[in-house]
């Protein structure tokens, strides 16, 4: 929860509009994330407010590659 890296980059597929707005620090770090999308966030900085929030883990992050498609 320190907003110090981008290893927790996620893409919010449902419920993005219900999250608090990203801080300037989070936005700056997101610029460094691979596969950035308009609805990208750092999971360490988001707190779902509704029951339905759907997140997707991107295929690539700084420290890993997902083999799932």
Condensed to tens digits (0 to 9), the pLDDT of residues 37-67 reads 999 999 999 988 878 889 998 886 665 555 5
| Whole-number CA gyration radius for the chain | 11
pTM for the model: 0.80
pLDDT for residue 3 is more than 80? yes
Contact 3, 42 (CB under 8 A): yes
Distances (CA, A) of 69 to 24, 48, 57, 59, 62: 31, 25, 10, 8, 18
- Structural domains in the chain, CATH included, are 1-69 (3.10.20.30)
Strands 40-42 and 9-14: antiparallel
């Amino acid at each position: 929860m320190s907003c110090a890296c981008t290893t927790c980059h996620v893409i919010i597929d449902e419920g993005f509009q219900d999250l608090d707005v990203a801080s300037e620090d989070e936005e700056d770090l997101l610029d460094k994330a691979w596969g950035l999308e308009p609805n990208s966030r750092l999971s360490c900085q988001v707190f779902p407010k509704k029951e339905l929030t759907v997140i997707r883990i991107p295929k690539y992050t700084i420290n890993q590659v997902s083999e799932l498609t």
